Every structure is written in C-alpha cells, then in structure tokens.
Structure 1
Amino acid sequence: MQTVIKWIDAINKVVGIIVGLILAAMSVIIIAQIFSRFLFHSPLTWSEEVARYLMVYMVFLGAPLALRQHRMIAIEVVAESVGAKARKVLKIATMLISIVFFIILLVQGNDMMGIVGRQHSAALGIPMNIPYMAIPIGAALMLLNAVAVILEFLTKDHVETSEVAEVLKKGEQL
C-alpha cells in the first residue's frame, strides 16, 4: 500500500510543478494583455482565451493536490464530534462517495470531449476537446488521490483532528 501512496505522491509532485508553471504563464499572459491594451492600445486577441483555458487546467490539476493534502472544503463538525474509530469510518465513506463522483466526472468528461471535438475555439482555433481534456485528467487524478487518502486512512492508527476538533474540545472544557 505504501508503494501505491508513494507512486501517487510522485505524480502529485509533477502535477504541482505543472500547476506552478501554469500559474506563472497565466500571470505573464495577463500582464502582457494589460500592457498591450493600455500602453500600446493594441490588445492581444488570444490572451483572454489562453488565460481562461490555463485557469481551467489549473483548477482541475490543483484540486487533486488539495484533496490529497486534506485541504478541500468540508463540514467537519459531525466528523470531529464522534470518536476516532467512527471518524475514520466516516472519512473513508466520504472518500468512497467522492470516488463514485470522480468516476462519473471522468466518464462524462470523456464523453464531452467527443461531443466538442469538432468545434474550434474562437481566438486560437484549437479543437475544443483540448480545453475539455482538463475534466477527465482532473477526475482521474482526483480518483487516484482519493484512493491514496483511503489507503492512508487504512494504514494509519488514527485520523488527524482538525482545527474544528480543537475548538470543540476547548468548548467542552469551558
């Protein structure tokens, strides 16, 4: 199990570098657009579209990293108000439900790529399945990271408590 987790974490390191490069490229493109539009009075025709597609990829590649690092938005009050064993079961059940969603997203995203494959973007003229490819790629990465989270829960003796748990404990002490 640890080998699988290490393999997924290695993929995440590469994805993290890609997300950083996308953010840098997006920033440069947006700054170039600002200078082009306001200083040279000649806006770039392609910059908004490229920035938009880069943002989509950044979100779909960044979400799996957030999932793996337990940084996704969650309502933790219920999970933190039960015992450690019940918390572990609840978090694994949540990840299993998430896996079902990621599989649906993967299949539907793949179907969408086929539907929009003949369309082309307005400014760049690229096939629209290139921007839509972010959906199944992100879903596959989220699926892998959900598996890593479950394996981590199964191999650890305890599930870490969050800030919510600390607040609840302080409230009980008062």
Structure 2
Amino acid sequence: MNILLDGITRLIKVIGDVCSLLLLAIMAVVAYEVTARYVFNSPTSWAWLINKQLFGVYVMVAGGYALVHNSHIRIEMLYQHFPGTIKKVIRWFTLVAAFCFLGALLWKSWQMGMDAWRIKEVAMGAFRLPLYPLKLFIPFGTLLFLLGCIVVVFRKK
C-alpha cells in the first residue's frame, strides 16, 4: 500500500512542479501586455484570456500539491489546544467534507468538460481561444486532489 501512496505523492509533486513553471509564462504574458499597452499603445486581445487559462491549470493542480506537502492553512491557535481525539474527529470530518465536495466537482466538471469537448467550445470575441482543454483539465486537477486526500487518509503518521 505504501508503494501506491508514494507513487501518488510523487505523481502529484511532479505534475505540481511542472505546473509551477506556468507562473513564469503568466509573468511573461503580463509583461508583454503591459509593454504593448503602455509603451507602444497597442494592447493585445489575447493576453487576459491566455492568462486565465494558464492560471486555471495552475490552480487546479495547487490543491493536491498543497495537500501532499501538508501546506493547507489550519487555525493552529485553536487546533493545537484540542486533545488528540478531537483532532482526529476534526481531521476525519474535514476529509469526508473534502471527498463529498471533490466528488461532486469531479462529476459535474467531467460532464462540463465533455460537453465543451463535444462542441469544441471556444472563447467569445476576436481571439477565439479553445476553452475545452481547460474545461477538461478541471476534472483532472480534481482527481489529483482526490488522490491526495486518499494519501492523507491511508498514510500512517
């Protein structure tokens, strides 16, 4: 079982590390847009749309990545004073809530992504960027987060 959990953790970390490079791309697009707009008085029609897509991918991976790194925020000033049994109850309640939310998100985002794929959905306006790749990435990122929850549940601490 530990081999499977370690494999899931490594997968999430590798995908998270690769997606962290998207921040460099986002910064480059913003720098280009600011330069084009304010230096050359020639704003782009595509920069905001590209950045929304890149940031969407980044955010979808960040949840699972933060989970396997134990980086989610807790209110430590309260949590640290609870006895061990209360901490366990809170931990399990939080994980059940996460499974319910992420399960529903996976289900609905899969339907939305497949609908977008079927019609080859594109953005409105002059720059008709395909939206279906991002919409298909939402269930993928949600699945990574769910796998991270499974690691948290079964990992012996």
Q: TM-score, normalization: structure 1? A: 0.78
**Structure 2 CA distance for partners of 1:67 and 1:109, relative to 1, 3 Å:** same
| Cα distance per residue 1:147-170 (max 9 Å; x no partner) | 111112xx22xxxxxxxxxxxxxx
**2:44 is aligned with 1:44:** yes
> Which residue number in structure 1 is paired with residue 27 of structure 2?
27
CA contact (8 A) 1:79 1:90 kept: no
> Which residue number in structure 2 is paired with residue 9 of structure 1?
9
CA contact (8 A) 2:99 2:149 kept: yes
Matching residue's letter, 1:41: N
Matching residue's letter, 1:132: K
Moved more, 119-128 or 92-101: 119-128
Task: Say which SS state the counterpart of residue 72 (structure 2) adopts.
Answer: coil
Moved more, 76-85 or 124-133: 76-85
> Which residue number in structure 2 is paired with residue 164 of structure 1?
none
Q: TM-score, normalization: structure 2? A: 0.85
Same amino acid, percent of matched pairs: 24
Aligned residues: 154
Distance in 2 between residues matched to 1:120 and 1:62, nearest whole Å: 25
CA contact (8 A) 2:114 2:136 kept: no
Distance in 2 between residues matched to 1:151 and 1:124, nearest whole Å: 46
> Which residue number in structure 2 is paired with residue 121 of structure 1?
123
Of structures 1 and 2, the one scoring higher in RCO (CA 8 A, sep 6+) is: 2
Distance in 1 between residues matched to 2:52 and 2:152, nearest whole Å: 30
**2:137 is aligned with 1:145:** no
CA contact (8 A) 1:79 1:91 kept: no
Distance in 1 between residues matched to 2:112 and 2:20, nearest whole Å: 27
Task: Say which SS state the counterpart of residue 112 (structure 1) adopts.
Answer: helix
Q: Which runs of 5+ in 2 are unaligned?
A: none
CA-CA distance at 1:83 after TM superposition: 1.9
Larger radius of gyration: 1
**2:136 is aligned with 1:133:** yes
Matching residue's letter, 2:136: M
> Which residue number in structure 1 is paired with residue 83 of structure 2?
83
Distance in 2 between residues matched to 1:145 and 1:81, nearest whole Å: 26
CA-CA distance at 1:20 after TM superposition: 1.7
Task: Say which SS state the counterpart of residue 133 (structure 1) adopts.
Answer: helix
> Which residue number in structure 2 is paired with residue 55 of structure 1?
55
| Cα distance per residue 1:26-49 (max 9 Å; x no partner) | 100110111111112222221110
Task: Say which SS state the counterpart of residue 21 (structure 2) adopts.
Answer: helix
CA-CA distance at 1:146 after TM superposition: 0.5
